[in-house]
Amino acid sequence: MTVTLMDRYPELRKEIAGSGVTVAQIDAMEQTVFATYDELAEPLPDTMLWKTQKPAHARRCRAQAREFASVLGLTNLEVALFALLFASHDLGRLVEAGRTHRKEPRAKWLHGKDSVDIMRPILGQLAETTLGHWIMDALDHHSDAQDVTLETVGGSRGSFAMCVTLRDLDKLEGFRSAKDYTSNPERKAKERLQNWPEQVKQDPAWGTELGQIDPDRMLDLFAQSQPVPRAECRSYEAYMLQYLRWVFNIVHTEMLTITLREGGPQIVANYLLAQLKRGAPEQYARLLQCLLDWQDGVLLA
């Protein structure tokens, strides 16, 4: 018999079942979440990538709860709860976009905190329960650059399960856009302006395809299995290296299997190898060796 995620975390199932929340209540919260996305997106200019991308991403992530219900072993109530979690995680991205549009300084915290601040009143009394705390932990830590561990969430297995499941599903959904990220010039231009508005003003080359990983130390971090900081990626290739690194910290085996089977990480790996082979042969050789060393070169298949 297949052991699912919910089988591995019975404490999470127990907390959801005992929370008293109903599918109807969760559905009402979800409607508020999507209305909030639309409200936050409305004042943003059409040139801002996240205006349309993030509400659409939220709706696709919501659908994943039902798409992967059997893989994760979810009951109907659990499907509704995870759908709410998956849908709400990037509300903070639109808060960030609003700050950028208003020319306010970039926040010193990660966008997960902004998602939590919005979701707490939407959750209402549920926010005060153990399950509510786990939901907010997941929202808060989904944006962490470092891998989430039990220590990150104070040793709570239930909170850990929610955190890493959200992060895994977010990465899986992100890799479904790999072809667009790597081959659509319009997408590349919008990513550049969305991610590095301040840097682009000072450096016209920032965020463009330079045929190399710039700065070179990003490849060192990648080889050491360390996070690649997005804000410091000068070349688009470095940004795609940061993107490729996501696959290395997908926690649940079933989610990693699906992600690799769909081929998104392989698309990113092939893009990077092609770019570096032409523009930076030494970096090409280093990256190729890293990929050969990971899971018997599965990303090169």
| Structure confidence by residue, pLDDT tens digits, 191-204 | 999 899 989 999 99
pLDDT of residue 1 exceeding 90, the answer is: no
Give the CA distances from residue 210 to residues 121, 231, 245, 286, in Å, rounded to whole numbers and listed in that order.
45, 17, 19, 17
CA distance 122 to 53: 22
CA distance 148 to 62: 22
CA distance 156 to 222: 29
The predicted model gives 38-52 an average pLDDT of: 93
Specify the pLDDT at position 178. Answer: 97
Half-sphere exposure of 126 (CA within 13 A, CB side): 24
Specify the pLDDT at position 171. Answer: 94
pLDDT digits (tens, 9 = 90+) for 247-257: 998 999 999 99
